[in-house]
Amino acid sequence: MVILGVLIFFARIIDVSLDTLRLKSMIRGKKYIVSLIAFVEIIVYTLGASQAFKYVMHPTVLIFYACGYAAGNYIGMIIDDKLSRDSIYVLVVANHDEWSLADTLREQGFAVTTAKGYGMNGSEKSQLILIVKKKQFRELTKLIQEFDPTAYVVSMDVKDMKR
């Protein structure tokens, strides 16, 4: 039963990782890749699930099935991060000396666009707008937090970008 559990575990890792990549590709509008991933994913899922459902009442199989699902989510996200060269849109609303923050970020090599906005109580706020590679996001947020720990940082995937 343990060998079957291990096989089901790895089948779940594969199909759930593929599911994660399929969803990310769908969001990015990659139709052909989505279709190919879906084809492979459903074959692996069907083979693994059919074996798991035969022995669903056996605790070992159930544990391996659940662990494979959890590990598949984790591994799928890691794979997506490694494959992703995508850019993200970052909006920063700083509460303290935002113009100096913009200059500091520029000195560190980040391209920053600034705009004025108005908060809920009508107070003027500065918005810092950046488009960075995902790999740079951690460095960027670290710099922002060091400069202003109360700053709001919002990020979104960029689907299309034209220069």
pLDDT at residue 161 is higher than 70: no
CA angle 9, 13, 17 (to 5 degrees): 165
Report residue 37's pLDDT band, with 50, 70 and 90 as the boundaries. very high
Which tens digits make up the pLDDT trace of 79-112?
887 777 678 899 999 877 778 889 999 999 999 9
Report residue 122's pLDDT band, with 50, 70 and 90 as the boundaries. confident
**Beta pairing partners, 88:** 132, 157
The chain-wide mean pLDDT, for the chain, equals 89
Which tens digits make up the pLDDT trace of 55-84?
888 899 999 999 999 999 999 998 887 777
pLDDT at residue 124 is higher than 90: no
Out of 59-63, 121-125, 153-157, pick the least confident.
121-125
Instruction: Determine if residue 109 is left, alpha or beta; phi over 0 gives left, psi from -120 to 50 gives alpha, anything else beta.
Output: left
Is 140:132 a contact under the CB 8 Å cutoff? Answer: yes
Evaluate the CA torsion angle 137, 128, 106, 161 in order and state its sign: positive
What is the structure's pLDDT at 68? 96
